[in-house]
Structure formats: structure tokens, C-alpha cells
Structure 1
Amino acid sequence: MTRHVLSMVLRNVPGALARVVVLFSSRGVDVESLSLDPTERGDVSRMDVVVGLPAGRSPDQLVKQLSRLVDVKSVVAVADSARNQIGA
């Protein structure tokens, strides 16, 4: 498994986190850590998640799939250099 950090802005509505987790589960993604905090706006939250993907699998497809969820406002895979700075 290779580790990847994803950062996303998620609507702050019931079931939003569950839909993200179901997507991870159905695609065999291992969630290593997850942090979810409300933003100042209140209607959205920021979610940072460290995921494990099978060797050779890029996070790009996962980012595309997450961005199709209605509750996900934006999602990016954090670059390796930035990941090293945050200690992931």
C-alpha cells in the first residue's frame, strides 16, 4: 500500500461523511487517518484524510470519483513535497 493525503471541502450536512466513507470502502481504499473540522462559514467542513492505496494505484482516479459526490465541493491530492512538510 502507498500512502496519499487528500484534502477536501465537504458540505456540512447529515450523511455527507458517510457517502465519502462508502466510496472509500467500495473501492478498497484503506483510511489511515481522518480529520474533519468545520470552517468559519459553517455550511462546509474541511476534511484531511490519509489513505492507503494498492501499490501502483494513483490517487487521481479517487480524486475524480470524490469530486462527483454532490457533498464534495473540492478535493485535491496533496503533493509529496507538501506531505513531507506536514509529516505524513
Structure 2
Amino acid sequence: MTRHSLSLLIRNEPGALARIVVLFSSRGVEVESLSLGPAERGDLSRLDVVVDLQPGRTPDQLIKQLGRIVDVKNVVDRTHDEALERPA
């Protein structure tokens, strides 16, 4: 499995997080960590998630699938951002 850090902007709507988690579950994506908090705009939240993808799956595929969820406004792959890397 390969680990990826994603940052999403999602609408503050009932069921938004559930729809994202269902997508992860149905695609066999393991969630290693998840953090949800308010974004700059009051109608949006920021969801930071670290996921493990099965062999053959790319983060680009997952990002496109997440982008199809009506509550997801933006998805960024932050896997290689130095500020997010943790020492081993």
C-alpha cells in the first residue's frame, strides 16, 4: 500500500463527511488519520486525511472520485509537502 496526504475543502452540510467515508470504504481505501476543522469561510470545513491506497490505485483516481462528490469543493494532494512530513 502507498500512503498519501490529502487536504479537502468540504461544505458544512449534514452527511458530507459520511459521503466521503463511504467513498473511501467502497474503494478499499484505508484511512490512517483524519482531521476536520473550520476553514476560512464559515460555510466550509477543511478535512486533512492520510490514506493508504491499494497497489495499482493512484491518488489521481481518488482525487477525481472525491471531486465528483457534491460537497467537496477542492482536493489537494499534499503527500510531498515538507511541512506535513513527520520524522520516522
Equivalent-residue separation in structure 2 for 1:29 and 1:64 (angstroms): 14
TM-score of the aligned structures, taking structure 2 as reference length: 0.90
In structure 2, stretches of 5+ residues that fail to align are none
Structure 1 range deviating more: 25-34 or 56-65? 56-65
Give the partner amino acid of 2:83.
Answer: Q
> Residue type of the partner of 2:49?
V
Counterpart in the other structure of 2:61? 61
Q: TM-score, normalised by structure 1?
A: 0.90
**What displacement does 1:79 show?**
4.1
Deviating 4+ runs (over 2 angstroms): none
Q: Does 1:87 align with 2:74?
A: no
- Percent identity between the two aligned chains: 66
Task: List runs of 5+ in structure 1 lacking aligned partners.
Answer: none
**Structure 1 residues 22 and 74, CA, compared in 2 at 3 Å: closer, same or farther?**
same
Figure out how many residues of one structure are paired with residues of the other and give that number.
86
Cα displacement string for residues 10-67 of structure 1 (whole angstroms, at most 9, x for unaligned residues) = 0001000000000000000000000000123211000010000013421000000000
Q: Is the 8 A contact 2:39 2:45 kept in 1?
A: yes
